Amino acid sequence: MIIVSACLLGVNCRYDGSNKISPKLLEFVDKSTLIPVCPEQLGGLSTPRNPASIEMGDGFDVLNHIARVIDLHGNDLTSQFRRGAEETLNIMKLVGAKLAILKDKSPSCGVNYISDNDTLREGVGVLTALLFNSGMKVNSEYSIII
């Protein structure tokens, strides 16, 4: 069982109501059980929603209460991002998944990079940080290893 960012499987759950379908990832649908999740929706956010970014840090800093997740209007979405990460981890434990393939550049799912007001910077998203802290393996869609 592998947890996958739902947007990579064609689910229209991104902040703008679109997806980022990954044809490369779809090749594995017949070979592995892929479980789509959207941590932002699991945290209670709607689709579409305002774009958000991590202010003054990355996902590890959010988990350590040093940074916040803020949308473009200044609304604090930190609790929703934390809740969505926790719910995703609960799903992974429930189904026995040890691997997540997540959408890089996302404030939730970023594995190598996160977006900060349309600027990319190195760092991990809130979900990725929680999964790393929990001993789970995480890959981005750019480094799919199943």
Predicted TM-score of the model (pTM): 0.95
- Return d(Cα 122, Cα 110) in angstroms, integer: 9
Q: CB of 32 within 8 A of CB of 96? A: no
Residue among 146, 137, 140 at smallest CA distance from 30: 146
- Tens of pLDDT along 84-143? 999 999 999 999 999 999 999 999 999 999 988 778 999 999 999 999 999 999 999 988
* Alpha carbons 65 and 57: distance in angstroms, whole number: 10
